Amino acid sequence: MKWRFESGIPIYLQILERLRTDIASGTYPPGAKLPPVRELALEAGVNPNTMQRAFAELERDGIVYTQRTSGRFVTGDETALRQLRRSLSEGVVDEMCSRLVRMGMKKDEIVTAVREWTSENPENKEGPGSCLKANE
């Protein structure tokens, strides 16, 4: 997928968001080896130091780890991944609900709307790491 960056937001934060989403969604599955920083930097057309900074952040959160000689890997720790999905989905839910509130919807109307959506879209149609799963 092509990388696009918004102006006015630090690039490492945008990269971080993208990598978190890719890990949460299983684009990079648990335990998978990640591409080298330089390679990803080239692909994204960004400075390798910026990419490195995003990786360092992921490492600090325990989502990826470095093995000295063989590279960087996605954690196999399901708890950390569940935590990641939860925090990502919180952001999405927050944004969605704020918009709905601005549109004039009441809280119970939002809950009803979400419930309707979940019954119309059965669980197995979703990929791993969807909001539904994260909030189970």
Partner 1 sequence: MAVLECIDLEKWYGNVKALNGVNLALEPGRIVGLVGPNGSGKTTLIKLAQHLLTPTHGQILIGGMEPGAETKEIVSYLPDRDFLPGWMNVESLLDFYSDFYPDFDAGRAGQMLDALQIDPHRVFKKLSKGTREKVQLIMTMSRRASVYLLDEPIAGVDPAARDYILRTIISNYSENGLVLLSTHLITDVEPVLDEVVFLKQGHVELHENADALRERTGMSVDGYFREVFRC
Residues that bind partner 1 (CB under 8 A): 5, 7-13, 38, 41-42, 44-50, 53
- Tell me the closest approach of the beta carbon of residue 84 to partner 1, in angstroms: 22
Q: In the bound complex, what is the minimum distance in angstroms from residue 1's beta carbon to partner 1?
A: 16
Nearer to partner 1, 41 or 131 (CB): 41
**Closest CB 41 distance from partner 1, rounded Å:** 6
Phi, psi of 68 (to 5 degrees): -40, -50
Is 7 or 119 the residue whose CB approaches partner 1 more closely? 7
- Any residues with CB less than 8 A from the CB of 120 and at least 6 apart, and which? none
Residue carrying structure tokens 């990502």: 88
22 contact partners, CB below 8 Å, separation of at least 6: 28
β-sheet bridge partners, residue 6: none
Helical residues (DSSP H) of 1-136, grouped into ranges: 11-24, 37-44, 48-60, 78-102, 107-120, 131-134
Find the shortest distance in angstroms from Cβ 88 to partner 1. Answer: 21
Residue with tokens 């790491």: 129
* 38 or 86: CB nearest partner 1: 38
Q: For partner 1, give the closer residue by CB, 44 or 84.
A: 44
